[in-house]
């Protein structure tokens, strides 16, 4: 009885994760996911098909040749990154909470971005997969298929994300929900705002910001805003073995470094980089 009471006191007095550090880790994850999608994904596929990269920015990539592999490359890169960060997160112990959190938010952002693109293109008929299916047959049938596939995979990504979040939020029913909300909403807004600020510098206009920067961040990763509600139901996301949540403490060197990278990201990839012809 005394042991249980003592454990409850420890859980209730454990300080919450530092918001500045969480925001910094979040923007790093969003920037990385963006560079992987546009640069490694679309850009890498462009090189693979023997074409030349023309322009790289935070909201679009231009290739000298039209190819379905280039169109799909961004999503493929995000899926690969999501799987890699899932494995890295599993291999990271409790002694490295900031790295554990970075792996979790990076996995989540990449998986939400990848699966969200199917849903976005299926509903709107635009975006990477809207271009991919053009000319492949009845568009209404393809769009229904993309929408269903996107919805199912997005749901699975959201559930996986919450399962992997459990070491960071502990097993106390009320506390884990509160911590999950903080660990999810802070990077969502920090990363989304950063991407929109960067996109606003793109010379191609506001429409690209709406369908790329805002849609892929505030829309694509919107699961961070609502999937935490599943934690209120113990049967949906059962509690994990660690009772005490991992502590994410403030690190000013880390915070300053992350925002320095963010400024460079905005200055360089906001307006975009045009490669030599």
Q: Residue 276: its pLDDT value, please?
A: 67
Range of the domain at 76: 17-268
Asked whether 113 and 121 are in contact (CB, 8 A), the reply is no
Number of structural domains (the chain) is 1
Q: Which residues of 174-187 are buried (b: 16+ CB within 10 A; e: fewer)?
A: ebbbebbbbbbebb
Largest CA distance in the chain: 74
Asked whether 150 and 119 are in contact (CB, 8 A), the reply is yes
**Within a domain: residue 67?**
yes
Q: Is the model's pLDDT at 116 over the cut of 60? A: yes
**Within a domain: residue 213?**
yes
In this prediction, residue 163 has a pLDDT band, given cuts at 50, 70 and 90, of very high
pTM of the full structure: 0.91
End-to-end Cα spacing for the chain = 74
Q: Is the model's pLDDT at 188 over the cut of 90? A: yes
**Beta 61-63 vs 273-274: how paired, if at all?**
unpaired
Please give the Cα distance from 38 to 75 (Å, whole number). 9
**Within a domain: residue 6?**
no
In this prediction, residue 41 has a pLDDT band, given cuts at 50, 70 and 90, of very high
**Within a domain: residue 247?**
yes
**Within a domain: residue 276?**
no
Task: Give the DSSP letter of residue 136.
Answer: S
Please give the Cα distance from 192 to 53 (Å, whole number). 26
Q: Is the model's pLDDT at 187 over the cut of 80? A: yes
Please give the Cα distance from 28 to 251 (Å, whole number). 15
**Within a domain: residue 4?**
no
Asked whether 184 and 164 are in contact (CB, 8 A), the reply is no
**Within a domain: residue 61?**
yes
């Amino acid at each position: 009885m005394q042991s249980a009471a003592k454990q409850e006191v420890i859980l209730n007095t454990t300080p919450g994760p530092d918001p500045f550090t969480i925001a910094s880790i979040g923007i790093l994850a969003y920037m990385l996911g963006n560079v992987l999608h546009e640069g490694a994904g679309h850009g890498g596929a462009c090189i693979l098909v023997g074409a030349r990269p023309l322009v790289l920015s935070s909201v679009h990539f231009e290739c000298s040749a039209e190819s379905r592999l280039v169109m799909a490359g961004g999503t493929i890169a995000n899926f690969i990154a999501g799987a890699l960060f899932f494995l890295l997160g599993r291999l990271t112990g409790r002694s490295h909470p900031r790295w554990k959190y970075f792996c979790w938010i990076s996995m989540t952002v990449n998986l939400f971005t990848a699966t969200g693109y199917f849903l976005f293109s299926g509903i709107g008929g635009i975006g990477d997969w809207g271009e991919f299916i053009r000319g492949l047959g009845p568009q209404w049938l393809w769009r229904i298929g993309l929408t269903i596939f996107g919805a199912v995979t997005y749901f699975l990504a959201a559930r996986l994300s919450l399962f992997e979040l459990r070491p960071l939020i502990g097993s106390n029913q009320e506390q884990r929900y509160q911590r999950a909300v903080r660990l999810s909403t802070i990077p969502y807004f920090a990363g989304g705002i950063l991407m929109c600020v960067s996109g606003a510098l793109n010379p191609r206009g506001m429409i690209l910001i709406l369908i790329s920067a805002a849609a892929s961040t505030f829309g694509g990763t919107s699961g961070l805003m609502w999937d935490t509600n599943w934690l209120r139901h113990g049967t949906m996301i059962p509690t994990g073995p660690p009772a005490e949540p991992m502590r994410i403490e403030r690190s000013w060197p880390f915070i300053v470094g992350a925002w320095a990278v963010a400024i460079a990201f905005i200055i360089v990839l906001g307006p975009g980089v045009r490669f030599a012809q």
